[in-house]
Every structure is written in C-alpha cells, then in structure tokens.
C-alpha cells in the first residue's frame, strides 16, 4: 500500500493532458500516437485531439494487479509504430520505469511523454507535466467515484 494518495479529477486530468499537448506541439509533427493501455488511453485521446493527430496505435503492458507490482507482460505490441520514428508514446504516469523501459526497447526512436512522473521513472520520459513523490499512489478518475462523506463534526471523536 502507498503511504500517500493523490486524487486527480476528470477536469484536472483534462487540463494536465492539454498542458502536455502544449509542450508536445512544438516537438512534432507526429506520425501517430501510441496510447499505453489502460492509463494512457484518455490522455492520448485528449492529446490526439489537441495535436490534430488521427493515427492512434495502442500497446498493452501489464505490470500491476491493483496496487501490487509484477513482472511486465506485453499483451499487445504497437505493431503499426515500427521502431517509433515520428511517434509519440503517451501514458498517464511513469512510476518506477518498468513499463517505460519495456517501451524504450520496443520503440527506441519514439518520444515518450506522460502526464505525471515519479522520481524513479522520470529519467525514462522525454516530456511530462507534473512530478509526484515516489510514495504517492495517484487515484485517477477511472479509479474512483463520488460518494457521500459525513461531515467532520459527525465523525470526530468527542
């Protein structure tokens, strides 16, 4: 279990993904985008719209089961991207760099961008927006749902 949690709303994810697109527009033009499933799908869609890029490929590398990390398994390679020349790889987060290392081996010529980056994985990313501490678990909008929370006065010990 992580020692800290950081909740990202849909609005914030959209703003941060758009900010990433602003950083990437000058580095293009891009032949296509490789969305890293599952977390990179929504940021990739936002960035594809902002960069007017219509060619989208996906790659599926499984490294997590809930919060438990395992060995990476490539469930679906990004065949259309070749070695990545002119391609932009988008993920939501780089954590320890396990997925990024796998991607670098598969797409050595691609530009790798994430919305969020942790210190251990940051050196493997070409462009990112926000750094978070290594011990923080990001709760993305697809991981949470709004629910009632009692007022502090009702739950505080008296």
| DSSP E strand boundaries for the chain | 4-7, 32-37, 56-65, 68-76, 87-94, 111-117, 127-131, 136-139
Residue 117 main-chain phi, psi, to 5 deg:
-140, 140
Residue 141 main-chain phi, psi, to 5 deg:
-55, -30
Which residues carry out catalysis? 91-92, 95
> 10-25 and 41-50 helices cross at what angle (nearest 10)?
50
Tokens (6 digits) for 116: 């969020």
- Cis previous bond, 29, omega within 30: yes
């Amino acid at each position: 279990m992580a020692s800290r949690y950081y909740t990202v709303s849909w609005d914030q994810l959209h703003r941060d993904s758009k900010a990433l697109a602003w950083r990437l527009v000058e580095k293009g033009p891009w032949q296509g985008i490789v969305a890293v499933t599952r977390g990179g799908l929504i940021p990739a869609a936002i960035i594809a719209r902002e960069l007017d890029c219509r060619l989208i490929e996906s790659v599926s590398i499984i490294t997590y089961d809930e919060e438990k990390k395992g060995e990476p398994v490539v469930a679906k390679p990004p065949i259309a991207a070749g070695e990545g020349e002119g391609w932009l790889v988008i993920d939501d987060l780089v954590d320890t760099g396990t997925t990024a290392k796998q991607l670098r081996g598969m797409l050595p010529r691609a530009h790798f961008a994430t919305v969020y980056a942790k210190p251990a994985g940051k050196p493997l990313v070409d462009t990112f927006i926000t750094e978070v501490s290594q011990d923080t678990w990001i709760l993305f909008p697809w991981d949470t749902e709004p629910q009632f929370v009692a007022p502090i006065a009702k739950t505080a010990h008296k």
